[in-house]
Amino acid sequence: MKEQPEVTIQFQPIGKRVQVAAQTNLLEAARLAGIALTSTCGGEGNCGQCRVQVVSGSVSPLTEDERFLLGEAEIEAGYRLACCTRAWSDVRLHVPPDSLDSGQRLQIESVLRPIPPEPVVQAIPVSCPPPTLHDPRSDWTRLKEAITAQSGSTEITTSNAFLQQLPTAIRQLGWSANILWRHNEVIGLTPAHQKLLGLAVDLGSTKIAATLLELESGQVLSTSGAPNPQISYGEDVVSRLAYAQRNAAGSQKLAELVRQTIDELLLKMLNKVSAAPEQVAEACIVGNTAMTHLLLGWPVRQLALSPYVAASSEPLEVLASELGLRMAPGARVYIPPAIGGYIGSDHIAMVLASELDRNERLAIGIDIGTNTEISLRIPGKETLTAVSCASGPAFEGAHIRDGMRAASGAIEKVRLTPQGVQIETVDHEPPIGFCGSGILDAIAELYRAGYLLPNGRFNRQRLALLGNSEPRFVFVPADKSGNGREIALTQKDINEIQLAKGAIHAGMKILLETNQIAPEAVEEVIVAGAFGSYISLPSAVQIGLFPPLPHARYRQVGNAAAIGAQWMLLSQSARRRAEEIARRTHYLELSTVPKFNLYFAHAMHFPVHSEKN
């Protein structure tokens, strides 16, 4: 074998690099670097999934397969299929999230830039002389005087929670410690060498994602997640709100469940890094408006009934102890502002971290969920506009016969090829159902291949050719599935997705029209959230969920809400900016727009001329 010179392949934004022989194809290079690019065809150049963007370096020319599978705009932007491209020199690649295997998706969070820490809590070292009979000043008086001597501050306050711990803690530490200083308040006490930590939480209605960070450096120390335990009281938000209203203690119960889970996640992470709750000086929790209401113990009746009003949409600082979180005694949880009953602090966090509010291009930020929030940024214009679309839980796999969450064995990618059905499952386990991105792919492929008509009905003739008498399409027969049951999409499943995508499409259309923007004028579409990061953009465009813009205008940013929560945990400027975003965002209530229902009805159809992009 002829010896080739070595070249270095860098993968952004993952931050990995690998040395390979020149002429190595980029799919193989990615494998060697430990990066699992999606590839349902196994590197045959016919699934078009292993897309990467060549940022710099010299590579082999475009193949015919690539010309066929990539859109023109993508080719212009330097996109290639990794399996068809060989490195001729050192190469720097950008890996878009939807080319990544689900197991590696979390890493795409680093698509978003880190923020310079500017934490609200600082550690100040102090020492006091111990008390004597001749100097019996109280512990707190003594500590205050030491702080004044150290920092010059004379306006010093504290909470009862801190005073409850002070006498024991200060004696254990031998009258020499770090005080946790928040504005003019002492909120805790730690040994002098310990780092201050912070907790950032993305409180989703399905999943709770928590991150433990070091406040001063901004370093992520640990991450952890758990299903939202409220699920047992209602799969979707509406039924949980109903439960909370039906039962006197219902709100309290739902609040406790979610508080306990957050506390457990925190403790798990603290144990992992051998840290103590007293070190956790601050938290930031983002979530949709219903989730933050239930977390904070607020009534939800007015939120569940028209005109769907939040108790408060203003930023809030609440004692961690009030939420049952074991942190420093006076530590606060910052809950960022929301925009209204249907645009929560998670959307603000997403706008913040994706920097939509400062985008130099005409841009849309979209976070798909049971409610899908969309914000529009027009450069030079002071206000953003936001809408919320009732897209329902179908994209989360709910209300779909063989739907499931994105757990092991969930089909997340589908391709119909002349050779048959190609699928990819989470963790590469035998298939047991569809998660949202798989359903989207499956419907897009069924439509592309002519099994579905533009109105969403199955083409019975085409189905009949496959021997399917019922209006359903079997993707995995019972004997090939992981649980002995066939995996199919039914007409009802298709209809559910039509409703969901129709609501989003119509919402986006109203949003643009109200601002006199033509859809093709949108220069960037920022797609955030778990579902949005996992989906195939071509499929989303194929079924008309997203407008037929060039692929390169889409940017999948992963869980931007979680990153936004981290920003607001770490930086006071980020909080001020989030509050500014909330003030500057105009909420457009879709139900007040007469055309909405008409648009919604139209948008249920699939686009007749699916464009190549």
Residues engaged in binding its own copies (CB under 8 A)? 131-141, 144, 160, 163-164, 166-168, 171, 296-299, 301-302, 306-314, 316, 318-319, 322, 338, 340-341, 587, 589, 591-592
Question: How far, in Å, CA of 288 to CA of 474, rounded?
Answer: 36
Amino acid in the structure at residue 74:
E
Q: Give the distance from CA 301 to its chain's centroid.
A: 28
Q: What are phi and psi of 399, to 5 degrees?
A: 65, 20
Closer residue to its own copies (CB): 238 or 316: 316
Q: Report, in Å, the least distance between residue 118 CB and its own copies.
A: 22
Closer residue to its own copies (CB): 301 or 492: 301
Q: Report, in Å, the least distance between residue 510 CB and its own copies.
A: 15
Closer residue to its own copies (CB): 387 or 494: 387
Closer residue to its own copies (CB): 49 or 313: 313
Closer residue to its own copies (CB): 374 or 444: 374
48: left (phi over 0), alpha (psi -120 to 50) or beta: left
CA distances from 16 to 31, 33, 69 (A): 11, 7, 27
Q: Report, in Å, the least distance between residue 150 CB and its own copies.
A: 18
Closer residue to its own copies (CB): 93 or 374: 374
Q: Report, in Å, the least distance between residue 136 CB and its own copies.
A: 5
Q: Report, in Å, the least distance between residue 164 CB and its own copies.
A: 5
Closer residue to its own copies (CB): 64 or 135: 135
Closer residue to its own copies (CB): 3 or 135: 135
Q: Report, in Å, the least distance between residue 572 CB and its own copies.
A: 17
Q: Report, in Å, the least distance between residue 207 CB and its own copies.
A: 24
- DSSP bridge partners of 524: 363
Q: What is the DSSP string of 271-304?
A: HHTT--GGGEEEEEEEE-HHHHHHHHT---HHHH
Closer residue to its own copies (CB): 151 or 312: 312
Q: Report, in Å, the least distance between residue 140 CB and its own copies.
A: 4
Residue with tokens 């400062």: 358
The 10 Å CB-count burial string (b at 16+, else e) for 280-317 is bbbbbbbbbbbbbbbbbbbebeebbeeebebbebebbe
Q: Report, in Å, the least distance between residue 330 CB and its own copies.
A: 12
Is 411 within 8 Å of 435 (Cβ atoms)? yes
Q: Report, in Å, the least distance between residue 335 CB and its own copies.
A: 9
The tokens for 585 are: 């965002």
Task: Sheet with 363-367: list strands edge to edge.
Answer: 554-558, 524-528, 363-367, 371-377, 384-390, 585-587
Helices (H), strands (E): how many in the chain? 18, 26
Question: How far, in Å, CA of 499 to CA of 496, rounded?
Answer: 5
Q: Report, in Å, the least distance between residue 431 CB and its own copies.
A: 43
Residue with tokens 């027969």: 477
Q: Which of 118, 286, 277 is nearest to 204 (CA)?
A: 286
Q: Which of 34, 10, 7 is nearest to 21 (CA)?
A: 7
Closer residue to its own copies (CB): 167 or 477: 167
The C-alpha R_g of the chain, in whole angstroms, comes to 27
CA angle in degrees (0–180, nearest 5) for 36-56-521: 85
Report cis status (omega within 30 of 0) of the bond before 550. no
Q: Report, in Å, the least distance between residue 169 CB and its own copies.
A: 9
Q: Which helix (H) or strand (E) holds 600?
A: helix 596-603
Closer residue to its own copies (CB): 73 or 311: 311
Q: Which of 586, 598, 604 is nearest to 515 (CA)?
A: 586
The Cα diameter of the chain in Å comes to: 99
The tokens for 35 are: 């990066």
Closer residue to its own copies (CB): 486 or 589: 589
- DSSP bridge partners of 206: none
